[in-house]
Amino acid sequence: MKRIFKYLMMTVLAAGSMFYSCETTELEDLVSPNALSPDLASADLLLNTIQLNYLGAMQGMQGNGAALGRISYMFGRDYYNNFGSGTSSGAWGSLYSGILPDLAAIEAQNGEENLLAFHIGISKAMAAHIMMGIVDQVGDIPWSEANNPAEYPNPSVDDDAAVYDAAMAMLDSAESYLSVAGGGDDLFYGGDVSNWMKLVNTLRFRYHLTVGTDPNVILDFISSNEIISSSDADFQFNYGDQELQPDTRHPWYQSDYTTSGANIYKSAWLMDVMDGDQDEWMGLTLDYPGAGVEEDGAAQRAVTTDDPRRRYYFYRQNRTTPGQSQMVFAIQSGPWNWPISFGLSASSTVNVETLSCSDIAEPVHLFGLEDGNIDYGGGQMLVGRWCSNFLGYWGRTHGNNEGTPPDNFTRTASGVYPAGGSFDNMPDIGNWDNYATWDGTLDTVLEGMDGLNEGTKGGVWQGNGGGGAGIWPIYLSSYVHFMVAETKLAAGDAAGAAESMRIAMEHSFAKVTSFSSVDPDADSAYFATATEITDFIDMKVAEFVAAPETNAYNAVAPSENKDKLDVLGEQYFVAMFGGANDAWNFIRRTAHPRHLALGIMDNDESGPFPRTGTYPSGEISANPNILQRQDNLTRVFWDTNMDDNPAN
């Protein structure tokens, strides 16, 4: 089966490499001329196709969750247009036109000996996950009539709660098959039946958490059933570094490591959360590690709010983002802040060609807010998060729909985790003295800064870093421990929630930092140390413990006024980078975290935050029994929290 896999790998990339979805897939699609007819295909080939369809569906759904959770950048200012008929079309086609017919064909081949129990069990688990995911995204969907096209060529929708229950019943069926399966092979767990059972139980846990089952009942369930609780059961898809025939590299790597530069913008909010407090950076003293040494010297990290995972997530191609300041060691002392410390205006770093907003007034609705510009007094105004980030992190904020300027070799690219790209070896504070000798003139200042910016570590290029040998995370143990923490908090066990949050973060750091070895050019001087990791986790857990159970939202400075769900949600979202399917659910279920970045558009322009997307247009045009919605306001049956996230 592993031999079969390499010939089918191209399907992965076609299925969902950039979260694009096809609008022409309907329930009644005929067999594709490019696909094997189910009655002619072997069970192994059918199972491979099911798994690749599942992966494509996950990529699409995770793309939606990541964009709405600000874990990735959302292009487009209008929610209804962004989350309209394309919201679930990829997953819809994968389930109805791919997985369900192929599963039926495998069941037909099973026979009384039950020799294909493994194939059927894992296929049902994947199908159940997608069923719940499509309900989460669009609400009522066809089910009871969908599996009988001869009698119901135009199936009507079932109540969304009934489909969720049907997914739970399918998980029960998956367990019954896996309990008698003699093993097999697959693209995720390599045939490990026990790990597949942990996934089944984790999906049951997800069901209960989503529908609002009593948290104490949930805790009883997870204490008596094995779930994904350790990294050896992480549910992920592994990519290779082969470029051609077939291309087995991570989709983000394919897009960002090209001869024409990077093509994916990173979330300004996520980078801002991870790059530490700007005032703390600017308050560094002479005993800062790396002060007075060459740029390639000891690791440069002394800010406690700085997340050590950032060098693994993001690869900086530039030292300074236009309109921002930059810290430098200068004049045999330091660090200094360019342009602030030299009495210059932030306009000295403006570049309207590559970042037009660096020379544009901030949106009116952001004046005086955290997402707006930063006023340091004396005419020192830095462009805020709505446009750019500190330390050379160059992405885009929520809803930015500008065109693409020539910034492919300056914007921040995908890092070594999870895309298999490059580890970020860029010094946070460059050594100006390497490029100029101070003579008291502005020309010398500019000379040194020009040299410093030319001395960057280099842009992305095809083949750099880990060559794309990354992963697509679907359910990692860190995600599951965050789910446990949320459940304990809902049960009134704040101390237990804090401990589960700690475990979740420890698992996240262990996973991310294990990718140090993926990039052969990674500089170990910049690796996250055990002390740095422990200190950061301790700080965040202490923040959770000190935070109130609930408090009033502070529109001016929400990130300085977090309650426990804000702290928990933030770290959950950071850990979900690369596989954020459940972020949208978390926002709707809890109305947290409340300090997500405001959009570049105001609420009148963006429209209401989507409680669901709309049905695939191809299905609407082909099936008269499904009526399209005209807005995003319809709530899924479990979406009973009437509070809206104030960041939307």
pLDDT in tens, 259-287: 999 999 999 999 999 998 877 777 665 44
**How far is Cα of residue 76 from the mean position of the Cα atoms in its chain?**
18
pLDDT in tens, 66-120: 999 999 999 998 999 999 988 999 999 999 999 999 999 999 999 888 999 999 9
CB atoms closer than 10 angstroms to residue 231:
14
pLDDT for 361 equals 87
Flag whether pLDDT at 293 surpasses 70.
no
E runs forming strands in 291-375: 314-315, 326-330, 333-338, 374-375
Flag whether pLDDT at 10 surpasses 70.
no
pLDDT in tens, 221-264: 999 999 999 999 999 999 999 999 899 999 999 999 999 999 99
Domain residue spans in the chain?
Answer: 2-26+42-227+615-622, 252-454, 478-577
Residue 391, helix vs strand vs coil: helix
Flag whether pLDDT at 41 surpasses 90.
no
- The β-bridge partners of 471 are 238
CB atoms closer than 10 angstroms to residue 75:
14
E runs forming strands in 192-324: 235-238, 314-315
pLDDT for 543 equals 97
pLDDT in tens, 425-456: 998 888 888 888 888 888 888 888 888 878 77
Q: pLDDT class for 630, splitting at 50, 70, 90?
A: very high
Mean pLDDT, range 385-405, rounded to an integer = 92
Tell me how far apart the alpha carbons of residues 593 and 342 are, in angstroms, rounded to a whole number: 38
Q: Yes or no: say if 559 and 598 are a contact pair by the CB < 8 Å rule.
A: no
What CATH number matches the domain at 2-26+42-227+615-622, 3.40.1280.10, 1.20.120.450, 3.30.365.10, 1.25.40.390? Answer: 1.25.40.390
Residue 159 main-chain phi, psi, to 5 deg: -60, 135
Q: Yes or no: say if 101 and 40 are a contact pair by the CB < 8 Å rule.
A: no
Mean pLDDT, range 601-612, rounded to an integer = 89
Q: Yes or no: say if 262 and 411 are a contact pair by the CB < 8 Å rule.
A: yes
pLDDT in tens, 301-355: 556 789 999 999 999 999 889 988 888 888 776 678 888 877 777 778 899 999 9
Here the tokens at position 469 are: 């040998």
Tell me how far apart the alpha carbons of residues 513 and 313 are, in angstroms, rounded to a whole number: 10
pLDDT for 340 equals 80
What's this model's pTM, rounded to 2 decimal places? Answer: 0.92
What is the residue whose two structure tokens read 């609420």? 603
pLDDT for 586 equals 98
Residue 579, helix vs strand vs coil: coil
pLDDT for 434 equals 84
